[in-house]
Chains A and B, each alone.
Chain A
């Protein structure tokens, strides 16, 4: 199956490491040019140098997506450099935490506004293009109770409603919007790597709750994100794709 990604142009925030990096590399492997950002210029430069291939190019610049003006300027610059944008994946998250009210502000700023502001900036370009695809990153922690009551779970939840409505609202412009719900994903240097060492009982319980007895891999999330973002998923709009190896118990009617 051809995903139809060759020579497309994707913008993904914060993809120099982790799951985002896997999405970026997979898009590049499919021949899609990708623009990304990081708060560290060294990380962006290293990513451009390492992940670019003869088939597709990585673009990027330093950007703190929490700064509205900086974020908007970065998107404009990336659109200009790639001469348009077909795919947008708002990937930056402030992560979990229930030790301070500050977490609510941080998740609102990074997870919610980081998505909303990006979406609003790319939509005019996509309309101009005649279409595009937005793929948001949700979490199974929004779908079912998980870990503890916290801003990450609750504010990520707002993206489900937002993404569904975007798909309806902009469907006529050829813009699709979907969301992926990854379960716990483990990789060296990731949160679950740290949880395995520092909160082993919670880690082991989470592992036991997975039918396959393991956590997900970044590549497994990346494949779902790349599919939904690709022209191959042309009839997927407003969908929520749960990528959790069967971890959650809720039935998706």
Chain B
């Protein structure tokens, strides 16, 4: 593609007090330009290695703390071949357990969100408390050898920014160490004041990393999401790589340098202005001035509207601060909402995966609050829309996976706008190394 001259998007130069750090942390300069072998996406051997050295060693997301308000509220979530229960304790803490009855191996609860006094196995009625300990073992006299253990097998668990994490590794490093270099990044958004407005899972015919990749670079925007060229600058992104996590900061409220000239205010920018309380028809300035006036207007009106954006910088009022929390979480953080994607591997097939999408929103108008939590939607083969952008990505991925399996294809040939993918594979290498 021919390079075009364009004016860089103005960015805030320093964080507000207590705000999200904004300094540029460039990728390590030894990432190189080697091809990333396709076997990482297609081979069962590599998948097995991932299970042994990655999934069973890292911290993983269980769900949102707002689904664990009362003692006994639990989330049962699956990762690969394992199922995990995360449950609110009577003392307000949270514990995680393998979802396995220690008697004959039955799953104790089904995947989903619910509340339980105790966890009772449906097979023979072995019953465990919220703390995982045995409560009742029917006809205990039939087991002269005693109980197999003290109850459900417990796992490390942590709460962070209203999100609940667990690890399948009882010896995992502390969660604080795991996220140390992005500690403080999300706090200013105050996820605790946002409510869940979407909860959906799609099964996609691709490797989980292909899905991670789709949200780790903006190079695909022009061909896959042409509508976004009229709404954001996909070429002028600040890419920051940390020890295992990474992010890019994508300016919204501008047009792409690939757009020579917008004939009028593009519809998505009109929508952004209207949402902010500005009248696009009254705006006489240039299209590339819209991001700035939207930021200023939101800043000026927030307090009167009861919105507290004091810990966010001006860019965060429009832009997408997009994080990969290793290995499988994509955070699209915005002042008034978070779109969180979780990319989960299929238990057995490297060519399949589960894509979980949640949206949580900061809604100050009591009347606009959803009356109840949305039900978890399951989407198969794109039979329901997840929104235009995700549908466009989800439309690509099965074809990408099919092509990766071709004899012609050797691996990923990555450019500079795709450096987060390269960094991600470097971190994968570190985990998968002997």
Q: Kindly provide the distance from the CB of A40 to the nearest chain B CB, expressed in whole angstroms.
A: 10
| B262: interface (CB < 8 Å) | yes
B274 contacts across to A, CB distance below 8 A: 99
| A161: interface (CB < 8 Å) | no
Q: Interface stretch among A54-62, A130-138, A190-198, A217-225?
A: A190-198
Contact between B229 and A191 (Cβ–Cβ < 8 Å)?
no
| A250: interface (CB < 8 Å) | no
B279 contacts across to A, CB distance below 8 A: 99-100, 102
| B267: interface (CB < 8 Å) | yes
Within 8 A of B (CB), among A35-79: none
Contact between B260 and A188 (Cβ–Cβ < 8 Å)?
yes
Q: Kindly provide the distance from the CB of A17 to the nearest chain B CB, expressed in whole angstroms.
A: 8
| A97: interface (CB < 8 Å) | yes
Within 8 A of B (CB), among A9-53: 17-18
Q: How far is the CA of A195 from the CA of B230 in the complex (A)?
A: 10
Contact between B262 and A103 (Cβ–Cβ < 8 Å)?
no
Q: How far is the CA of A103 from the CA of B264 in the complex (A)?
A: 13
| B282: interface (CB < 8 Å) | yes
A198 contacts across to B, CB distance below 8 A: 227, 230-231, 266-268
Contact between A191 and B270 (Cβ–Cβ < 8 Å)?
no
| B226: interface (CB < 8 Å) | yes
Contact between B282 and A102 (Cβ–Cβ < 8 Å)?
yes
Q: How far is the CA of A197 from the CA of B222 in the complex (A)?
A: 10
Contact between A97 and B268 (Cβ–Cβ < 8 Å)?
no
Within 8 A of A (CB), among B257-286: 260-264, 266-268, 270, 274, 279-282
Minimal Cβ-Cβ distance residue in B for A102: B281
Minimal Cβ-Cβ distance residue in A for B226: A197
**A197-B229, A197-B230 as given contacts; A99 in contact with B263, CB under 8 Å:** no
Q: Which of B229, B230, B270 contacts A99 (CB 8 A)?
A: B270
Contact between A97 and B281 (Cβ–Cβ < 8 Å)?
yes
B280 contacts across to A, CB distance below 8 A: 97, 99-100
Q: Kindly provide the distance from the CB of B346 to the nearest chain A CB, expressed in whole angstroms.
A: 31
A191 contacts across to B, CB distance below 8 A: 263-264
Contact between B270 and A95 (Cβ–Cβ < 8 Å)?
no
| Most chain A beta-carbon contacts within 10 A, residue among B263, B264, B280, B282 | B263
Q: How far is the CA of A100 from the CA of B274 in the complex (A)?
A: 10
B231 contacts across to A, CB distance below 8 A: 198
Within 8 A of B (CB), among A91-108: 95, 97, 99-103, 106
Q: How far is the CA of A102 from the CA of B341 in the complex (A)?
A: 40
Q: Kindly provide the distance from the CB of A224 to the nearest chain B CB, expressed in whole angstroms.
A: 21
Task: Mark contacts of A152-191 with chain B using CB atoms, 8 A cut-off: 1 yes-contact digit, 0 otherwise.
Answer: 0000000000000000000000000000000000001111
Contact between A190 and B263 (Cβ–Cβ < 8 Å)?
yes
Q: How far is the CA of A149 from the CA of B262 in the complex (A)?
A: 23
Minimal Cβ-Cβ distance residue in A for B263: A191
Q: How far is the CA of A58 from the CA of B25 in the complex (A)?
A: 52
Q: Kindly provide the distance from the CB of A190 to the nearest chain B CB, expressed in whole angstroms.
A: 5
Q: Kindly provide the distance from the CB of B281 to the nearest chain A CB, expressed in whole angstroms.
A: 4
Q: Which of A18, A97, A200 contacts B263 (CB 8 A)?
A: A18
Q: Kindly provide the distance from the CB of A191 to the nearest chain B CB, expressed in whole angstroms.
A: 5
Contact between B281 and A197 (Cβ–Cβ < 8 Å)?
no
Q: How far is the CA of A199 from the CA of B268 in the complex (A)?
A: 9
Q: Kindly provide the distance from the CB of B151 to the nearest chain A CB, expressed in whole angstroms.
A: 55
Contact between B281 and A194 (Cβ–Cβ < 8 Å)?
no
Contact between A189 and B260 (Cβ–Cβ < 8 Å)?
yes
Q: How far is the CA of A241 from the CA of B73 in the complex (A)?
A: 70
Within 8 A of A (CB), among B221-237: 226-227, 229-231
Contact between B281 and A106 (Cβ–Cβ < 8 Å)?
yes
B270 contacts across to A, CB distance below 8 A: 97, 99
A103 contacts across to B, CB distance below 8 A: 281
Q: How far is the CA of A130 from the CA of B266 in the complex (A)?
A: 45
Q: Kindly provide the distance from the CB of A112 to the nearest chain B CB, expressed in whole angstroms.
A: 16
Q: Kindly provide the distance from the CB of A131 to the nearest chain B CB, expressed in whole angstroms.
A: 35
Minimal Cβ-Cβ distance residue in A for B283: A102
Contact between B281 and A193 (Cβ–Cβ < 8 Å)?
no
B230 contacts across to A, CB distance below 8 A: 194, 197-198
Contact between B260 and A199 (Cβ–Cβ < 8 Å)?
no
A99 contacts across to B, CB distance below 8 A: 270, 274, 279-281
Q: Kindly provide the distance from the CB of B354 to the nearest chain A CB, expressed in whole angstroms.
A: 28
B267 contacts across to A, CB distance below 8 A: 194-195, 198-199
A17 contacts across to B, CB distance below 8 A: 261
Task: Mark contacts of A190-216 with chain B using CB atoms, 8 A cut-off: 1 yes-contact digit, 0 otherwise.
Answer: 110111111110000000000000000
Q: Kindly provide the distance from the CB of A211 to the nearest chain B CB, expressed in whole angstroms.
A: 26
Q: How far is the CA of A106 from the CA of B267 in the complex (A)?
A: 17
B281 contacts across to A, CB distance below 8 A: 97, 99-103, 106
Q: Kindly provide the distance from the CB of A216 to the nearest chain B CB, expressed in whole angstroms.
A: 15
**A99-B270, A99-B274, A200-B227 as given contacts; A194 in contact with B263, CB under 8 Å:** yes
Minimal Cβ-Cβ distance residue in B for A105: B281
B residues with a Cβ closer than 8 A to A are 226-227, 229-231, 260-264, 266-268, 270, 274, 279-282
Q: List 25 A-B contacts (CB under 8 A).
A: A95-B263, A97-B270, A97-B280, A99-B270, A99-B281, A100-B279, A100-B281, A102-B279, A102-B281, A102-B282, A103-B281, A106-B281, A189-B261, A190-B263, A191-B263, A194-B230, A194-B262, A194-B264, A194-B267, A197-B226, A197-B227, A197-B229, A197-B230, A198-B231, A199-B267
Supplied contacts A97-B270, A189-B260, A194-B230, 13 more A-B pairs, CB within 8 Å: A17-B261, A97-B264, A100-B280, A102-B282, A103-B281, A191-B263, A194-B263, A195-B267, A196-B226, A197-B226, A197-B229, A198-B267, A199-B267
